[in-house]
């Protein structure tokens, strides 16, 4: 089954953009996934091809009209989830990305201006998704981020099948740091343990660095990790839905 992405945007020329290069680009050419960029403006009904209007209640900026966006969206509704990129949405997580990548694809709505008329989200089943607590000028880059995260997980896209599972977040922890040759650079050497060939010691060092770095850099993740461990009946590490962020 091919992962099918349909992106609704005022700037279809932004796609596939960076997703036409590297891993995602090769996978696109190999038809492991497909990408269709649809211009929301094609759903406009007036001579000026208007898609937005001034905010009710006043204030700066413009708002994307619900009727126009719905008109653009409706022909693409099928079994795929519809995701709208918005800073008001639920923060994107690796767990959600993995679920999406396991599914038939996604229909992705990219906002512009001040965003969408809220009634769109009442009238259609749409998942509002944020890629982080900062404001972009439009949803296109957010859509590219979302799709990149999904596509790299599709079967056959990444070189080594295991390289997806040890990643940061997959275990609820940040990944350990990496090193490669030269063994010495500017007077700094690769940690001895990584050159020891002792796989058990290496695994223990990596686990410990994952834990230390997560605790120092991401106390929020660490708290959740500890909570999950304490909460499990045997005290052993158990994977839960909340495990991955």
Residue number, 35 or 157, with CB nearest to ligand SAH? 35
Query: Strand pairing of 63-64 and 82-91?
Result: unpaired
What are phi and psi for residue 72, nearest 5 degrees?
A: -75, -35
Smallest distance from ligand SAH to CB 43, Å: 17
Comparing CB distances to ligand SAH, the nearer of 9 and 214 is 9
Residues 140 and 9 sit within 8 Å (Cβ to Cβ): yes
Number of residue whose CB is nearest ligand SAH: 111
Smaller CB separation from ligand SAH, 132 or 177: 132
Q: How far is the CB of 23 from ligand SAH (least distance, A)?
A: 23
CB of 153 to ligand SAH, least distance (A): 20
Angle between helices 94-101 and 140-151 (to 10 degrees): 70
27 vs 110, which CB is nearer to ligand SAH?
110
How far apart are the C-alpha atoms of 235 and 245, rounded to whole Å? 21
Check if the beta carbon of residue 142 is closer than 8 Å to that of residue 131.
Answer: yes
Residue 94 CA to chain centroid, in angstroms? 7
CB of 132 to ligand SAH, least distance (A): 5
Nearer to ligand SAH, 132 or 156 (CB): 132
Nearer to ligand SAH among residue 106 and residue 194 (C-beta): 106
User: Would you call 65 exposed, middle or buried from its count of C-beta atoms within 10 A (0-12, 13-18, 19+)?
Assistant: buried
Candidates 30, 19, 25; CA nearest to 147 is 19
Give least dist CB 85 to ligand SAH, A: 4
Pick between residue 59 and residue 233 the one whose CB is nearest to ligand SAH: 59
CB of 188 within 8 A of CB of 174?
Answer: no
**Shortest Å, Cβ 117 to ligand SAH:** 11
- Read out DSSP for 62-115? -EE-HHHHHHHHGGG-SSS-EEEEEEEEEEP-HHHHHHHHTSSEEEEEEP-TT-
Q: Shortest gap between Cβ of 33 and ligand SAH (angstroms)?
A: 21
Residues that bind ligand SAH (CB under 6 A): 85-88, 110-112, 114-115, 130-132, 134-136, 138-139, 142
């Amino acid at each position: 089954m091919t992962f099918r992405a349909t992106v609704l945007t005022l700037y279809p020329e932004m796609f596939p953009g960076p997703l036409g290069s590297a891993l995602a680009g090769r996978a696109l050419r190999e038809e492991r996934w497909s990408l269709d960029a649809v211009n929301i403006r094609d759903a406009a009904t007036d001579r000026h091809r208007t898609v937005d209007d001034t905010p009710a209640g006043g204030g700066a900026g413009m708002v994307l009209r619900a009727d126009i966006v719905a008109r653009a969206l409706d022909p693409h509704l099928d079994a795929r989830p519809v995701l709208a990129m918005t800073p008001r949405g639920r923060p994107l997580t690796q767990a959600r990305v993995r679920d999406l990548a396991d599914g038939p694809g996604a229909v992705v709505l990219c906002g512009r201006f001040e965003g969408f008329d809220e009634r769109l989200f009442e009238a259609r089943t749409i998942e509002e998704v944020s890629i982080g607590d900062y404001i972009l000028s439009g949803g296109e880059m957010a859509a590219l981020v979302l799709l990149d995260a999904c596509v790299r997980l599709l079967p056959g896209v990444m070189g080594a099948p295991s390289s997806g599972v040890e990643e940061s977040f997959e275990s609820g922890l940040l990944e350990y740091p990496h090193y490669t040759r030269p063994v010495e650079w500017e007077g700094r050497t690769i940690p001895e343990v990584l050159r020891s060939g002792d796989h058990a010691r290496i695994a223990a060092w990596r686990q410990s660095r994952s834990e230390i770095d997560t605790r120092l850099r991401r106390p929020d993740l660490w708290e959740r990790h500890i909570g999950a461990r304490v909460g499990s009946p045997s005290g052993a590490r158990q994977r839960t839905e909340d495990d991955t962020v």
